[in-house]
Chain A
Amino acid sequence: MTYFSYDGTFTGLLAAIFEVYERKTYEANIINKKLLSPLIFDEIVDVVNDNEKSKRVYNGLKDKLSQQGMKKFYFTFLSELPLVENLLLKFAQTVFASKTSVEQDFGNPTILEITKIAKRVHREKHRFEAFVRFENIGNQLFFANINPDFNVLPILIPHFKNRYSSQDWVIYDTKRNYGVNYNSTNQEINEVLIQPCSIKSDAIAVNIDLDPEEKLFQALWKNYFKNTNIESRKNTKLHIQHVPKRYWKYLPEKQI
């Protein structure tokens, strides 16, 4: 068995798929460098993240897939599920091997699997379009922490950029330890990293001393959430199904 180890990025994965074809390897595994166990004695190919190679695979897929199909491929990658690289390789091989489009062949287990994972990632993206909660942490900078199951931050950016184009904001993924910052003056997006020691892990905000206006609006939101509920229709099971407990941490309305 040959292991193609790559750097964990999307372009890195594309380059790895290129290498698999280049070396005509039939039993290939693609694996993130970080997860490569030293106990493996199989052949290991260290894939260099080569832009030219990634581009060729990307364009190859683009020729064969619809926009929807490309999106499925990328979304599945963002799931970060174990062995997802092998599934994506198999998908690419299925796509390249057929003269006609195979995208709609839901009887094929690889295609159905990709469709399902992409759907889960899409659901997580949609959830975080809903569950991001900004706090004005001073100077009209709106800050939000998130802890999504899948790495959805990159695909959340366009939504929030459109919505809050005249507002400065940061969305920070506390699980993966990176965030993005939008600057309304030049309308640019930048990646931000916060040193772990400067962040209070259980606090909703980075800054504990919120200004009184921010406190008021959070309290009003909690007040609204409580009063819009109809006691006699209580349905905790349904509530938790829609807002699973793992998301409560950064929702002010779910804090006591």
Chain B
Amino acid sequence: MNNHDRIHEKLSILSSAAKYDVSCSSSGSKRSNDKNGLGNTTGMGICHSYTEDGRCVSLLKILLTNYCIFDCAYCVSRKSNDIKRAAFTVEEVVSLTINFYKRNYIEGLFLSSGIFKDADYTMERLVLIAKKLRLEQRFNGYIHLKTIPGASQELMFEAGLYADRISVNIELPTEISLKSLAPDKNFKDILKPMSYFNKSILGYKSEKKLIKNAPKFAPAGQSTQMIIGATPETDKEVMLSAQKLYHQYNMKRVYYSGYIPIRDNDARLPSINTAPPLLREHRLYQTDWLMRFYGFDVNEILNNQHDTLDADIDPKLSWALRNLHEFPVDINHDSYEKILRVPGIGFRSAQQIVSARKFGKLDWEQLKKIGIAINRAKYFIICRSDNSFAKDALPSVIRHKILATYQSKFKSTISNQLELFL
């Protein structure tokens, strides 16, 4: 096998093994170029391409190696799995990153690894790659390092100095699930680095405010990922766990990765014919957004009465239908926060509404042009031209009227249920 074939083979194996990590974000970090360096990061992420499954390709996302001493049931690289193994050299990863970046294929590198020998030995190599990129290649593109649980604090510290984003995966929503599927891992080893990074990131941030040339430490913060659908947690449990991660560790993002069945010989996991829970994943992300940008508390959306997200309609609409007493919202008078809670109004439209109404009261036509989804919003608002808000409309009736207008990609699942009512 010649050199070209060998590098092709490694890249196929090690990118294929890395693809289940869903994060591809390249945002949130500013790293300015100088005249001899390569790359410039402005804080705004760029998706250079999209895979055929519609996911963003922003970073070169690879494993350093898929050799692993751990045996996590949900992972393709687990030790007991009979697959082809490979490992990049440090130089190979550096060369791929630089050459892809020069051609504007990528924003940077997302590097993770199976654990070979032990945590420190592996982590050392990940850090070395980041260090070479920054110091030898003068690379100012984006670097996301996934840290290896159990690695020493000195290595974690070095990782923070060279990377823009750091991640430690929580893997599963609860400790019980982690114990059952990943016997070699424990929550403590995962939470410890999270809390270390949280403290250090905040520390360096406040130092940077005082001293301009204080070093950068993971300026794009930390993120984490949990697999959903492999274990029996409800949506409520998943989102409560996410809320905790946001509050306690200041996560920039929590990613939800719908479990894709990879094996059929393990009773603990869904069988190979189970479809990945894409719709559920979508609803969880919507809830995550409501939590982060729309001022909702998880308990408003998921609680003991409603521990599962509605598959047919989005979580904001679902909340609104359960809380009709909060409506109508008066577009021309009510606060920005109240307008944000109207189904069919996103935060950009809400901002435009609040700006525009200073110049005159808004009517349906103007709202339509601003871009709100009238088919949903009309049941919840009043504006200049129409105050025909139906006070006594039943939630079930509104729901069916809205569903009848849907052209959603999930239509097939919805229409079956609709037919029962029509």
Contact = CB atoms under 8 A, between A and B. Distances in A.
Interface string B155-191: 0000000000000000000000000000000000000
B40 interface: yes
B369 A126 contact: no
B37 A129 contact: no
A238 B4 CA distance: 33
Interface stretch (B53-61, B241-249, B311-319, B320-328): B53-61
B104 interface: yes
A163 interface: yes
Contacts of A187: 35
B102 A167 contact: yes
A48 interface: no
Interface stretch (B117-125, B221-229, B353-361, B411-419): B353-361
B35 to A, nearest CB: 5
A242 B54 contact: yes
A144 interface: yes
B305 interface: no
Interface in A198-256: 216-217, 219-221, 223-239, 241-243, 251, 253
A142 interface: yes
Contacts of A10: none
Contact of A236 (B52, B57, B276): B52
A230 to B, nearest CB: 5
A106 B370 contact: yes
B8 A238 contact: no
Interface in A158-173: 159, 162-167
Interface in A125-153: 126, 129-136, 142, 144
B35 A166 contact: yes
B372 to A, nearest CB: 12
Given A104-B356, A221-B105, A239 B50 contact: yes
Contacts of A224: 11, 15, 60, 100
B8 A219 contact: yes
Nearest to A237: B409
B102 A142 contact: yes
Contact of B260 (A144, A228, A233): A233
Interface string B66-79: 00000000000000
Interface residues of A, number: 54
A42 to B, nearest CB: 31
Given A142-B103, A163-B33, A166-B35, A233 B53 contact: yes
Given A107-B359, A167-B38, A228-B15, A221 B103 contact: yes
B213 interface: no
Instruction: Specify which of B53, B275, B409 lies most central, judged by the most chain A CB atoms within 10 Å of its CB.
Output: B53
Instruction: Specify which of A106, A225, A241 lies most central, judged by the most chain B CB atoms within 10 Å of its CB.
Output: A106
Given A228-B16, A232-B260, A233-B53, A221 B100 contact: yes
B375 interface: no
A108 interface: yes
A81 interface: no
A159 B105 CA distance: 15
B276 A232 contact: yes
B16 A227 contact: yes
Contacts of A165: 33-37, 40
A166 B38 contact: yes
Contact of B359 (A105, A167, A236, A253): A105
B12 A162 contact: no
A184 to B, nearest CB: 8
A109 interface: yes
Given A107-B362, A221-B103, A130 B19 contact: no
B54 A166 contact: no
A20 B105 CA distance: 47
Given A233-B278, A237-B409, A107 B19 contact: no
Interface of B: 4, 7-8, 11-12, 15-16, 18-20, 32-40, 42, 46-57, 60-61, 96, 99-100, 102-105, 260, 275-276, 278, 352-353, 355-360, 362, 366, 369-370, 409
Given A165-B40, A233-B276, A236-B52, 19 more contacts: A107-B356, A108-B359, A112-B366, A112-B369, A134-B103, A144-B104, A165-B34, A165-B35, A187-B35, A217-B100, A220-B11, A221-B100, A225-B49, A228-B15, A228-B57, A231-B53, A237-B409, A238-B53, A242-B54
6 contacts: A134-B103, A223-B8, A230-B53, A232-B260, A232-B276, A251-B49
